[in-house]
Amino acid sequence: MTTDKTQPTPVNEAEPGATAPRTTLLRALTAAGGAAAVVSTFLAWTWTAEFPGDLTVYGYPGGLQLLTLVLGIATALFALAALGLKGLRWLTPSGSTQALRMLALGTFAVTWFTVIAIAVDLDGLVNLEPGGWIAAVATAAPVATTFLLPDDTRPLCRPEKLPSWADILIIAGVFALGLYVVNYGIQTDADHPEPFIGYLIAVAFAAVALIKAGLVSRISELTSAYRSTTLVAALITAIVFPFFQDKSSFTELGVNIAIFATVALGLNIVVGLAGLLDLGYVAFLGVGAYTAALVSGSTASTIDVRFPFWAAVITGGVVSLIFGVVIGAPTLRLRGDYLAIVTLGFGEIFRLAMLNLDGTSGPSVTNGPDGIPNIPPLEIFGFNFNDDHSIGGLSLDSNGNYYLLMLLVTIVVVLIFSRAGNSRIGRAWVAIREDETAATAMGINGFRVKLVAFALGATLAGVAGAVWAHFQSTVVPEQYVFAGPVPPNSTFLVAAVILGGMGTIGGPLLGATLLYLIPKKLEFLQDYQLLAFGIALILLMRFRPEGIVPNRRQQLEYHETGQLDVPGATGLKDGAVGVTKAEA
Amino acid sequence: MTTTTTSPVLTATGVTMRFGGLTAVQSVDLDVHPGEIVGLIGPNGAGKTTFFNCLTGLYIPTEGSVAYEGTVLPPKPHLVTQAGIARTFQNIRLFANMTVLENVLVGRHTRTKEGLWSALLRGPGFKRAEAASKARAMELLEFTGLADKADHLSRNLPYGEQRKLEIARALASDPGLLLLDEPTAGMNPQETRATEELVFAIRDLGTAVLVIEHDMRFIFNLCDRVAVLVQGQKLVEGTSEVVQSDERVIAAYLGTPFEGAPGAEEAAEVEAAEAGASEAGATTGAPQDETQRGTTARTEDGQ
Ligand SMILES: Nc1ncnc2c1ncn2[C@@H]1O[C@H](COP(=O)(O)OP(=O)(O)OP(=O)(O)O)[C@@H](O)[C@H]1O
Ligand SMILES: [Mg+2]
């Protein structure tokens, strides 16, 4: 993956020998700073193991020190790559300085966060061992040196063609790394917020650094060149996830992420592709869940039937579909914000109806606020989902079973999304979203096409709801609110779609993962979750309106062939960041 | 070149459009015959675009009816397009975040019928239909000279190419009648010439064209027949010569009664020499030069 010398570079940085001595010195200093940060992680930063992660040991790093270690190594490596060290130059296909700045800042932020957290948690700077001071100084130096470096951003270098087995190995390695990173985040200690905050800081800076270095674009070139390999790799990564978890609370996080990500993806058909703002989407999840619960054979169900699981799922989907059509048919004929208002109302009416169909205020269907508990555990072909299973020596707990089941639903929804989106009907959705008048003038029956999107979205939510009801083994009305501290709620889902990136597959998956995981790990945030949502969305709209994962169409804007005639293209060169995390 | 004995593709009868107290279009009758290029001109605010909107179902005419090949059209845009009338917009309305190719593929919507199920199942029929749509779309991009930009986002195209793309998108529905609303607005003279050729080529492929334009040279080069709309009413309709020499038209455009302009003869000669190459080449009307100048300025205001 050495760089192609024929590629013209705007800045005189192609030949390392040609760089100014000052630049070389600064890069060497940065590398040294990275190395010093690495060394500091082998020292003790505090004297007591009270701080989570045990940072008291001389000899090997632990807890938050690991993050400083990894970022320090990365800083050193990227600085060496910038110095032109043979064998490392593939690290910076589109320039090193911006990436170095991000890495240096990331190392600095993580380390200083740790040091300050030690001082605050344990009351006083006296709790810092010399190692902590060394780390603080060692990580501050590269920030200074990297910001003195000249910017050497250049168009992405065409790498030399590698043999395809090497490309495939790289893809596999990327997914393995992705799985490791996701696992690390999921397995951080939920009792203390510090490790997870440090993790978030480190991942955010590292991700931006990889984007700036051009590695993300390289990877997305590879993944689009080897599509089927990538899909298989993603699938395997997602399947092996539960086998790596040693606590059932971790696999539970996995199931919930899978469910909410799937529901967010279903909503993305409605919001992202067709441009219909559905503010009561969670009600369709509820319709599916309640329907499945009623026909599940639960002792609390008012209907005395016991459908097999597949039939319960189909029933949930179909009933949701019917509700979707009933809500959509009158509303979608109108233009403007009517749909948002009607769906908002529907969401609340659904919850109130479920509360009141308790036999006293209305007919006895749902047991009111008690909901429908005791949904019997799933059993498919003698495989009981509530038991632990051992497959080839690897153990799978109850949550793991449901995770794999939910993964199947996720895959189906991903397939539906990509196939529908990339077809005549999908183009019609996008056309309606872009300009409804022009779309109808091109012969698109706006009402029909929107109704299909709305009903499809409702059906997928219903299916996911049916699975969710079985996983939870109970349904209660209070789960299906417009906004609340606990997902799923309609605000959560819409926010996941917008935050992640509308109209993409990776976007809602990543958005739902982040929005679910962060409040889960940072318990103290829970009361302020809605406030945090709001702030996050405002910041996003200001700095990255296309969402974390940009749409392929928006990405095209920055495509090489389009660069000549792009008016006012900004310097964003982001690839599909979400791919590696999409399977979480 | 047109025989008025053939049955018309478009018959608009007594089309009237009122917005509250304002009558934007008043009892306009217009026929377009197969293979014809008909021009629709008139000062700003005359109701030309409103008339197009009535024809294509974007507005429901207060009175009157629109028939395509003898069948009265319901005022629903998608049914009008399905029947065979396609249009472009005065203020470009492309699907900005779709690629050039996708824009044209959307135009194929009425001529394909793959629904959600076939998209999900991806059978051989779906793949064949999709490939055929793509081939046809590329053909049209070839035809309009945009083939090498197929993968660009439409919003990144230069202005002139966006107008061409609108035409390609409209042609994708294989229309029998194409309505063009100011197709050369904002174009430079070369681009305008190219558009002229394009419209002739479209006509030669068997699509009748009804075109609104303020560029009089363009209109009189191109059109077999020109209708003039003033304050919502059709003032004159006839060949270029007839319209150009009609005093009421000139009055409507210049706002003053026509008095034989001195030097008009010379201006006309220059005009004729310039337009000599074109096949329509029938620019003899005295006041054309002035007319054009006056209206070009106005077009710029309008944009
Ligand atoms: N939706 C509407 N509601 C109210 N008035 C309208 C509407 N559409 C058009 N009009 C009015 O109808 C009249 C005709 O407008 P129209 O756009 O058809 O003119 P035009 O001949 O296309 O002019 P131009 O050459 O500037 O494009 C104008 O006075 C305009 O303000
Ligand atoms: Mg107009």
Look up the ipTM and state it: 0.82
Residue nearest atom 7 of ligand 1, based on CA coordinates: B19
Closest ligand by atom to B23 CA = 1
Side chain identity, residue B111: R
The secondary structure of residue A424, as a DSSP letter, is: H
For every residue of A488-551, which 3-state class applies, written as one string? CCHHHHHHHHHHHCCCCCHHHHHHHHHHHHHHHHCHHHHHHHHHHHHHHHHHHHHHCCCCCCCC
CA dihedral angle for residue A215, residue A217, residue A220, residue A222, rounded to 10 degrees: -70
Residue B120 to residue A420, Cβ atoms within 8 A = yes
Pick the residue from chain B with its C-alpha nearest to A451.
B116
**Contact yes or no for A103/A209 (Cβ under 8 A):** yes
Four-CA torsion B85, B91, B97, B99, nearest 10 degrees:
50
Average pLDDT over residues A147-151: 86
The closest of A194, A186, A188 to A51, measured between CA atoms, is A194
Ligand 1 neighbourhood includes B287 CB (under 6 angstroms): no
Query: CB–CB of A265/A413 below 8 Å?
Result: yes
Test the A interface: residue of B54, B73, B116 with most A CBs within 10 Å: B116
Whether the CB-CB separation of A449 and A432 falls below 8 Å is answered with: yes
Closest CA to B43 of B285, B271, B235, B289: B235
Are B156 and A565 within 8 A, CB to CB? yes
Question: At A121, which helix (H) or strand (E)?
Answer: helix A97-121
B42 lines ligand 1 (CB under 6 A): yes
Instruction: Tell me which of A30-39, A117-126, A564-573 is least confident.
Output: A564-573
Residue with the two structure tokens 């949502």: A533
The answer to which of A10-24, A223-237, A287-301, A496-510 has the lowest mean pLDDT is: A10-24
Distance (angstroms) between ligand 2 centre and the Cα of B269 equals 31
For the segment A500-516, the average pLDDT, to the nearest whole number, is 89
The SS3 assignment for A555 reads helix
Substitution candidate for ligand 1 out of B40, B41, B48 with most atoms within 8 A of CB: B48
pLDDT at B275: 54
Q: Give the residue on A whose Cα is nearest the Cα of B161.
A: A565
Structure token digits, residue A95? 């320039």
Domain boundaries along the sequence of chain A? 41-237, 269-505
Torsion of CA A60, A65, A67, A73, to 10 degrees: -60
Q: Which residue has the tokens 């430079």?
A: B188
Ligand 1 pocket member B205 (CB < 6 A)? no
- Cβ within 8 Å of residue B263, ≥6 positions away: none
Selection from B274, B21, B48, B52 nearest residue B178 by Cα: B52
Q: What is the pLDDT of residue B239?
A: 92
Architecture of the domain delimited by B1-84+175-282+293-303 = 3-Layer(aba) Sandwich (3.40)
What is the Cα–Cα distance from B148 to A579, expressed in whole angstroms?
30
- Cα–Cα dist A555/A50, whole Å: 47
For residue B302, the ligand 1 atom closest to its alpha carbon is 26
Residue A103: the pLDDT is 93
CB contact under 8 A, B81 and A425: no
Q: What is the number of H-type helices and E-type strands within chain A?
A: 20, 4
Q: Which amino acid is at A264?
A: A
Neighbours of A173 (CB within 10 A): 11
Tell me how far CA of residue A197 lies from CA of A71, A125, A525, B4, B32, in angstroms.
15, 20, 11, 79, 70
User: What is the mean predicted confidence (pLDDT) over B88-99?
Assistant: 93
Measure Cα distances from B52 to B48, B82, B238, B280 in Å.
6, 16, 19, 25
A411 and B CB contact within 8 Å: no
Q: How far apart are the first and last CA of chain B?
A: 34
Domain definitions of chain B by residue range: 1-84+175-282+293-303, 95-173
Percent of chain B scoring above 90 in pLDDT: 68
* Cβ atoms within 10 Å, residue A267: 27
Number of other residues whose CB lies within 10 A of the CB of residue B256: 8
CA A134 – CA A46 distance, rounded (Å)? 12
CB contact under 8 A, B78 and A559: no
What does the pLDDT read at residue A263?
A: 95
Report which secondary-structure segment, H or E, holds A576. Answer: none
DSSP B25: E
Q: For residue range A382-438, what is the model confidence (pLDDT) as tens digits? A: 677 777 777 777 777 888 888 999 999 999 999 999 999 999 999 999 999 999 999
Q: Is the CB of B302 under 6 A from ligand 1?
A: yes
Asked if A284 contacts A461 with a C-beta cutoff of 8 angstroms, the reply is: yes
Looking at residue B135, its pLDDT comes to 96
Distances (CA, A) of A342 to A220, A336, A445: 40, 12, 22
Q: Are A466 and A298 in contact (CB under 8 A)?
A: no
Measured between beta carbons, the chain B residues lying within 8 angstroms of A452 are 115-116
Strand partners, B229: B234
What are the pLDDT digits (tens) for A432-465? 999 999 999 999 999 999 999 999 999 999 999 9
Minimum mean pLDDT among A369-378, B160-169, B247-256, B269-278: which range? B269-278
Residue A363: CB atoms within 10 Å: 10
Q: How far is B63 from chain A (nearest CA, A)?
A: 21
Query: What value, to the nearest 5°, has the Cα angle with vertex A395 and ends A393 and A399?
Result: 160
Residue A154 reports pLDDT greater than 50: yes
Residues of A in contact with B98 (CB under 8 A): 427, 430-431, 434, 553
Listed range (A103-112, A228-237, A525-534, B35-44) with the worst mean pLDDT? A525-534
Q: What are phi and psi of A148, to 5 degrees?
A: -90, -15
Reported as a single tens digit per residue, the pLDDT across B105-121 is 999 999 998 889 999 99
Backbone phi and psi for residue B287, each to the nearest 5 degrees, phi listed first: -90, 15
Looking only at the bridges linking them, the beta strands covering B225-230 and B37-41 are parallel
* Closest ligand 1 atom number to CA of residue B229: 21
Asked if the C-beta of B75 comes within 8 angstroms of chain A's C-beta atoms, the answer is no
Q: In this predicted model, which residue has the larger pLDDT, B261 or B246?
A: B246
Residue A45 corresponds to which tokens in the numbers above? 């930063």
All residues with CB under 5 Å from ion ligand 2: B 49, 90
